Amino acid sequence: MHAATKLSGRYPDPLVQAFEPSFEALILPLAGVERLADGCRWAEGPVWFGDGRYLLWSDIPNDRVMKWDETTQTSSVWRHGSNNANGMTRDRQGRLIVCEHLGRRVTRTEYDGRITVLASHFNGKPFNSPNDAVVKSDGSIWFTDPPFGIAGYYQGEKAEQELPAGIYRIDPDTLAISLISDAVQGPNGLAFSPDEQLLYVIESRSRPRNIRLFALDPGGKSVSRPTAPDLFLSAGEGTPDGFRVDIHGNLWCGWGMGSAELDGVRVFSPESQMLGHISLPERCANLCFGGKYRNRLFMAASTSIYSLYVNTQGC
């Protein structure tokens, strides 16, 4: 692990490419892509802790959660023996929510470090391998459960799939678990629109990969068409994975695979127009917004963590 390294050393950074003029308003001419840390096998699930000025992310095959400290510019192991943690986020009280491949569960880390299991079974059957999670403003936790972690022994432990790949909601008061939809092939990253009227989900086992779109019911606890989500976009040769939405409703998607030109982050408008691309030396699996003003994009890309200051903020 090393201190931040600028990749291009030039402003404006040639690694930040605008496909549409509107993307220029979202980027900064005097900010460039930096590598903050390396040495991972498969970096995923970044989450920002503004109160501590640090970033956590998961290194799934190495069975650990890593930490990058903004004040010291150094990285370290934060949790070893993470049950092959994947996607992570924070709840409305600031506690860490973790999707575990090996544990086949969703957990919450309490303020004193204790771990509370929030979801491990549905209808008496174990989950496959919870992948990614997002917390709604009402405190409910929504997560995806594809079978990736039980397919072998690299990112989890091989096991029989007992539930269809699904999208679930954990009630904030009762912790009751409800199935939102099992109509998405390989549900992966997920995020809400800024007004929380829409739920976007990556469909990672379709060919090509898609981003699906659900409209929420008026109560906000379910979706209106669980068996027939809309198609937001088809990714073509791209491989969207994890993503986040900014305050303008733009989707910042981890991207890559196939060819080096695709590696990085691809940005789309709420109308599914391709706005721009942040090129990285590696495929980007997931990302989050952080920093004091939520205007710093942190990107978990294969073996490394990268960052870029942008001219927007994460929701």
User: What sign does the CA torsion over 261, 262, 267, 271 have?
Assistant: positive
The rounded distance, in Å, linking the Cα atoms of 63 and 203 is 25
Instruction: For the beta carbon of residue 28, count every other beta carbon within 10 angstroms.
Output: 16
The rounded distance, in Å, linking the Cα atoms of 236 and 231 is 13
The rounded distance, in Å, linking the Cα atoms of 264 and 209 is 16
Known binding site: residues?
44, 131, 188, 241
The rounded distance, in Å, linking the Cα atoms of 209 and 201 is 11
The rounded distance, in Å, linking the Cα atoms of 252 and 74 is 26
Known binding site for a divalent metal cation: residues?
44, 188, 241
Known binding site for substrate: residues?
131
69 is catalytic: no
Q: Which of 91, 132, 241, 246 is catalytic?
A: 241
Cβ(133)–Cβ(145) under 8 Å? no
The rounded distance, in Å, linking the Cα atoms of 119 and 236 is 34
Active site residues: 241
